[in-house]
Amino acid sequence: MNKQSKALRLADILESWKGAVSNEAAAELRRLHQSEREAWRYSNELEQEHKRLHEVNAELVEALNEAADEIDHWGSYASDYFRIKHDLAGSVRKVYAVIDRATGKQQPKDAPIWYFMRDNHTFRKLTGTVDSMMAAVAEEIADGYTSGSVFCRDLGISIHCDYKNIAAFTEECRAVIAKATGEQQ
């Protein structure tokens, strides 16, 4: 075999390899494109599921917050004996612990809980700053509940409203809550 024949044979071998490699590369490229399409589809499905779970989580956190408030609210009707026996405060802390995990936020756990008790002995939990608590009290009074009270069972504080002197009642509430919470007025 002469040099020219060897070169042609080598060229034929290289061309066949090139074709085989080209075919393998094209097949691999098609497989990669298919994998990419599947990855995008899966990514979109995951994004939709994440969005759905985020919405469900928000709904559950809201329901748990309401449940904790209800435990607090209805538990205030129970005597100290039953509240302690059934560890209602512990139940509320457990619910807040779940909320903490779901939101990644810390809830105030041991802060005293304040309420406005209406004339008909239903309750409204007072939350936030002294100003926001007093705004809630003002709303209750504006709704006609002028013989109720503001109290904090945790601290043993109860301030009764005298419908004849609502201004004095609100001033006293503001001063007592501010002192108890350490908030500057």
- Domain total of the chain: 2
Q: Give the range of the structural domain holding residue 119, as residue numbers without chain letter.
A: 114-181
For 169, counting Cβ atoms within 10 Å of its Cβ (0-12 exposed, 13-18 middle, 19+ buried), the class is: buried
Q: Is residue 109 part of a domain?
A: no
Q: Does residue 137 share a domain with residue 87?
A: no
* Beta strands 157-160; 149-152: pairing state: antiparallel
Last residue of a domain, one of 83, 103, 123: 103
Q: Does residue 127 share a domain with residue 66?
A: no
Token digits of residue 91: 């139940």
* pLDDT at position 11: 67
Task: Please give the C-alpha separations between residue 171 and each of 102, 104, 137, in angstroms, as whole numbers.
Answer: 38, 37, 11
Q: Does residue 90 share a domain with residue 11?
A: yes
Last residue of a domain, one of 38, 69, 103: 103
pLDDT (tens place) for every residue of the chain, 185 residues total: 576 676 667 667 667 666 666 677 777 778 888 888 898 999 999 999 999 998 998 898 888 888 887 887 777 777 767 776 777 777 887 888 888 888 877 655 567 888 898 888 888 888 888 999 999 999 999 998 888 889 887 777 888 887 788 889 999 999 999 888 877 65
Last residue of a domain, one of 103, 125, 146: 103
Q: Does residue 137 share a domain with residue 70?
A: no
Element (H, E) at 136: helix 130-142
Q: Does residue 51 share a domain with residue 27?
A: yes
Spatial strand order in the sheet of 114-117: 123-126, 114-117, 149-152, 157-160
Q: Is residue 108 part of a domain?
A: no
Confirm if 135 and 127 have CB atoms less than 8 A apart.
no
* pLDDT at position 49: 93
Q: Does residue 145 share a domain with residue 94?
A: no
Q: How far apart (Å, rounded) are the C-alpha atoms in residues 140 and 178?
A: 19
Interval 146-180: pLDDT, tens: 888 898 877 778 888 877 888 899 999 999 998 88
Q: Is residue 41 part of a domain?
A: yes
Q: Does residue 129 share a domain with residue 77?
A: no
Q: Does residue 15 share a domain with residue 81?
A: yes
Q: Does residue 169 share a domain with residue 87?
A: no
Confirm if 169 and 106 have CB atoms less than 8 A apart.
no
Phi-psi map region of 104: left, alpha, beta (phi>0 left; psi -120 to 50 alpha) = left
